[in-house]
Amino acid sequence: MQKKPIEIKGSNFTLLVLYLKDNNIDLINKSLYKKIKEYPQFFKNAPIILNVSNLLLDQMNWSKIKDVVISHGFFIVGVTGCKDEYIKKIVINSGLPILLEGKKIENLKKDINENISTFYKVHNFKNIKVNKKIKKIEKTHIINKPVRSGQKIYAKYSDLIVINNVSAGAELVADGNIHIYGSLRGRVLAGANGDIKSNIFCTALFAELLSISGKYWLSDQIPLEFIGKSAQIYLNNKVLTINSLN
C-alpha cells in the first residue's frame, strides 16, 4: 500500500505568550531587553505568541511592535486577543495568523483536576489524600530513552528515573519519586497513590504540569527563576514548594 505524501494531525505544544500592555514602542523594547538579560538561554530563539488584548487599538503601530519583538530574537507564531477587524487584517497581511483564545485558566484547571481524579479512579485509588496503607515502594523503574510526545509512563508502587529528555505532550506518573536527568517539557505526576513525601527532581525544568499527590502547578505557575534550571519540587505543609539543586 502506497504511503500518503503528507498527513495533518492535531497536537499540543507549549508556547510562551507575550502580553503587551502598553503601546509605547520604546517601553516595550526596554522591557524585552531587561527580561531577556535575566534569562538569555531560555528566551533565545523562542517561538512566541503575542497577546494584544490590553493595547489601545487606535494607538497601535503593528509594524513597529512586530519589528521590535523580532529584533530581540523571538519567532512570532501568531497573535491573539485582537478583536478589531481592521487590526486583524493588518496582522494577517503582515504574514501572521490570528489565533483563537483557548480555555480560560479556571476552566483549564478544572479539566486538569477532573483528569487527575479520573486517573486515580482508573487505577482504583480511593482518593488523593494520604493513604496509610500505601504499598511498599518496589524496584525503581528506569527509562534510558527519550520520552516522546504522546507517550505515557506509569511506575506503579515505585520511583521513576528518566535518563534522557521528556518532550512536551509526554506524561510521567509514579507512586514514588520522579527523577529526570534531561530537559523536562512534559507533564509529571509524583506520589500518584497519595504519598505526600514524594519528590520531583529534574536538571532542566520546562514542564507543562507538575503534580505531587494531587497538588499541581501549570507551566505559568512555575516561578520564572527556575525555568531551565535544576530543581527539586516537593510538598511543604501540603503546599507545592520548589528549590534549586545548584
If DSSP codes are grouped into helix, strand and coil, which group holds residue 129? coil
Calculate Rg over the CA atoms of the chain.
21
The per-residue pLDDT for 27 is: 93
C-alpha 140: how far from chain center:
26
8: left (phi over 0), alpha (psi -120 to 50) or beta: beta
Output the pTM of the full model: 0.51
Task: Give residue for cell 499540543.
Answer: 12
Please name each of the domains of the chain with its CATH number: 16-93 (3.30.70.260), 106-244 (2.160.20.70)
The per-residue pLDDT for 106 is: 53
Taking the chain (246 residues) in consecutive chunks of 10 residues, what is each chunk's mean pLDDT? Answer: 69 74 92 82 80 85 92 90 86 87 54 58 47 57 91 90 91 93 92 91 92 88 90 93 89
